[in-house]
Amino acid sequence: MTLEREAAANTAKVLSEALPYIRRYVGKTLVIKYGGNAMESDELKTGFARDIVLMKAVGINPVVVHGGGPQIGDLLKRLSIESHFIDGMRVTDAQTMDVVEMVLGGQVNKDIVNLINRHGGSAIGLTGKDAELIRAKKLTVTRKTPEMTQPEIIDIGQVGEVIGINTDLLNLLVKSDFIPVIAPIGVGANGESYNINADLVAGKVAEALKAEKLMLLTNIAGLMDKEGKVLTGLSTQQVDELIADGTIYGGMLPKIGCALGAVQGGVGSALILDGRVPNAVLLEIFTDTGMGTLISNRKRS
């Protein structure tokens, strides 16, 4: 079967456009946070797996960190375990932690690994408890209102924050041509498990590996200005200004904070892009236009 002239020309254009980007990223590490809407349809899941396999095939080193909040919520509901959230974080008692580990470390992680492997990759599933990949401590949440003389310390259970990443393990896997797929479960000093926000884990992994790029797949086209237009290339200083003037607020603050922290910690750039778009990862990496909102210490090149 031969391509029609127009289709052949389009294919050649895509390949030639991709070539300089392939050269730019060969040998570099890219950390991709995968979850939420990008996991919703078979088409999107298959496209994501193929994107990751292609990246590895052309010499790029992808590291995947995944979430799984909706899947955790579904199983908790089926088990008649009620969920509570404080500042967007799921209160995680011992019973809920068991479900988190079962869903993230078992079901979701293995589904992603299996999908990547079915499309020609060599993925390995990990949680933060494997070789103490993600060392964590209990996250302390405080709240203060004008009526309080002292801040209130709120116990949200086994919710953690990252204090260290075992880069030796990740580098070993990457150099052995494996694709690490990481569930955001941390381990404490006494072996206790911690539920950690996947964006935060992805940011810390990217920072520890000095990754070229951190990519956060989300359910919006990117960071919007006050007129609803997507902001593309932003410096860290511009992000600080947008937070100060109220353009960035609410639920976007933790994600932006994660991206900003990663760039300030040595990651080449961080990107917030729409995981609902098929092949979003490849479109961002290998095309001139790119997608989403890029945050860096330099302008988009």
Handedness of CA 216, 220, 226, 231 (dihedral sign): positive
Say whether 222 counts as a known binding-site residue: no
Place of tokens 């976007």: 252
| Measured distance CA(232)–CA(217) in Å, rounded | 15
Transcribe 213-257 into DSSP letters: EEEEEESSSS-B-TTSPBP-EEEHHHHHHHHHTTSS-TTHHHHHH
Which residue is listed with tokens 């709240």? Answer: 143
Q: Is 135 annotated as a binding residue?
A: no
Sheet holding 269-274, edge to edge: 123-127, 179-183, 61-66, 29-34, 213-218, 269-274, 293-296, 233-235
Helix (H) or strand (E) holding 273: strand 269-274
- The secondary element (H helix, E strand) that includes residue 73 is helix 69-78
Parallel/antiparallel/unpaired status of strands 179-183 and 134-138: unpaired
Q: What is the dihedral of CA 279, 285, 286, 291, to 10 degrees?
A: 70
190 is in an annotated binding site: no
Q: Quote the CA–CA distance of 113 and 122 in Å, as a whole number.
A: 8
Question: What are 127's two structure tokens?
Answer: 């949680």
Listing DSSP states for 177-196 in one string gives: T-EEEEE-EEE-TTS-EEE-
Q: What is the rounded distance in angstroms from the CA atom of residue 55 to the CA atom of residue 37?
A: 21
Residue 195 is labelled as binding a ligand: yes
Annotated binding site for substrate: 68-69, 90, 195
Annotated binding site: 68-69, 90, 195
